[in-house]
Amino acid sequence: MLRIYGSAKSRTVRVLWMVGELGISYDHKDWLPRAPETKTPEYRALNPNGRVPTIDDDGFILTESMAINLYLSKKHKSPLYPTDPRHEALAWQWSLWETDRLDRQLVNYMRHTKEYPEAQRKPEIAAEMWNEVTASFDVLETALAKSEWLAGPSFSVGDLNVAAALLRALTLDLAKWPKLEAWLTRCWERPPAKRARAMREKP
């Protein structure tokens, strides 16, 4: 049995979207980031970073949302995992790119503009992060002008990993990046994506 550690109100939403695509059952430890359960020695033995998500797949422990989704889609022989080695490599490329160029940049931008209490927000951090986020949006816009999907001819784990990380961007004005906006909407309109989002937005 697959067990997923982490609340939908965290990067675990990416994994919940993937398992919805795969249609597999799982046991869910619905823990928020920094919840007391994530600070126990038992959990630290699974994930020494103390973060979520983590999965336990019949005793195989894996952390890092991008790696988890690549693993699960490959293991379950999903059409989301490209079989062509070049498309497979593109799925890796975009997943690694997202972690490097977009992930914390977007989170920190949103924190310092909307999510933190006003007194805690730092406009200089928001401005620096916005510069990096928009540069990454430009990269995606160029890629999506050439191809409808990021890693091959159809929606794949590469799209899912990047689009899932762009959840917060759904509330931004993306008019300057029309290809990106259309692609992001296509991705998030998928029923498993909507279900994962609903889990996240549940009070």
Ligand X SMILES: N[C@@H](CCC(=O)N[C@@H](CS)C(=O)NCC(=O)O)C(=O)O
User: Residue 44, interface with ligand X (CB under 6 A)?
Assistant: no
- Residue least distant from ligand X (Cβ): 51
Which uninterrupted H or E stretch holds 2? strand 2-5
Other CB atoms within 10 Å distance of the CB of residue 34: 12
Does 37 interact with ligand X (rule: CB under 6 A)?
Answer: no
Strand ranges across the sheet with 2-5: 26-29, 2-5, 54-57, 60-63
CA–CA gap between residue 163 and residue 68 (Å, rounded):
15
Question: Could you say which residues in the range 64-103 bind ligand X, by CB under 6 A?
Answer: 64-66
Judged by CB under 6 A, does residue 156 bind ligand X? no
What token pair was written down for 184?
A: 């992001």
Phi, psi for 78 (deg, rounded to 5):
-75, 150
Site residue total, ligand X (CB under 6 A): 11
The correct pick among 3, 24, 50, 186 for binding ligand X (CB under 6 A) is: 50
Q: Which of 27, 34, 135, 142 binds ligand X (CB under 6 A)?
A: 34
158 lies in the binding site for ligand X (CB under 6 A):
no
Give me the residues that bind ligand X (CB under 6 A), please. 10-11, 33-34, 50-53, 64-66
